[in-house]
Amino acid sequence: MSQALELARRGLGRVSPNPPVGAVLVAGGADERRADGWHQFYGGNHAEVNCLEAAREAGIDPRGADLYVTLE
């Protein structure tokens, strides 16, 4: 969750009036793999979408993974 909070800070000053949001996907057990994303600018994709796109690009299957998001 601390990594998601750090990612959210990247959106400060860029996403208003929306809140800055970060997301981290953690997949797998012993061979844990991660992907992340954040809300980069107002009107842009949400953090979760950016995170899932990063997972897809890295070849990470999000099914059964944990997604940590800094918003609700």
Which CATH number do you get for residue 48?
3.40.140.10
Runs of H (alpha helix) within 1-72: 2-9, 47-57
Domain, as residue range, for 51: 2-69
Alpha-carbon Rg for the chain, nearest whole angstrom, is 12
Residue 57: active-site member: no
Residue 72 has pLDDT above 80, yes or no: no
pLDDT in tens, 38-71: 999 999 999 999 999 999 999 999 999 999 999 9
Q: 């070849």: which residue's tokens?
A: 59
> What's the structural domain count of the chain?
1
From CA 46, how far away is CA 66, in angstroms rounded?
17
Supply the pLDDT for residue 31.
75
pLDDT band of 28, cuts 50, 70, 90: confident
Lowest mean pLDDT segment, chosen from 6-15, 22-31, 43-52: 22-31
**What are the Cα distances from residue 58, in Å, to 27, 33, 44, 52, 54?**
12, 9, 21, 10, 6
Annotated catalytic residue: which of 6, 48, 53, 57?
Answer: 48
Residue 16 has pLDDT above 80, yes or no: yes
